[in-house]
Amino acid sequence: MNVSRGMLEFRADPESQYHDPAFEPERTVLLYCASGGRSALAGRTLQEMGYGEVYNVGGFKELADAGIETEQVH
């Protein structure tokens, strides 16, 4: 799912009116962004919110170059 860094806390917090039920602290979360920097900060935030299995997989270009399947969304 695509969540902007500015909305992450709202989507991940079950008490928020903007909560996304796909966010569950028991699920593994893989994060990426353009370069890996924002996803690192987002990962720390989620861990502070009680999410246990949180991984920063880095920058999108590096993932695509490594052969991870990607999809263009219009």
- Tell me: pLDDT of 74 over 90: no
- Tell me: pLDDT of 73 over 90: no
Two tokens, residue 20: 């996304």
Rounded Cα distance, 36 and 61, in Å: 10
pTM of the model: 0.84
State pLDDT tens for residues 36-69.
999 999 999 999 999 999 999 999 988 889 998 8
Question: How many residues can be counted in the chain?
Answer: 74
Are the beta carbons of 20 and 29 closer than 8 angstroms?
no
Q: Under CATH, which number does the domain 5-11+18-65 receive?
A: 3.40.250.10
What is the mean predicted confidence (pLDDT) over 24-34?
Answer: 93
Domain positions in the chain are 5-11+18-65
Kind and range of the H or E run holding 32? strand 29-33
Q: Angle at the Cα of 47 (from 13 to 7), degrees rounded to 5? A: 40
Collapsed DSSP state (helix, strand, coil) of residue 73:
coil
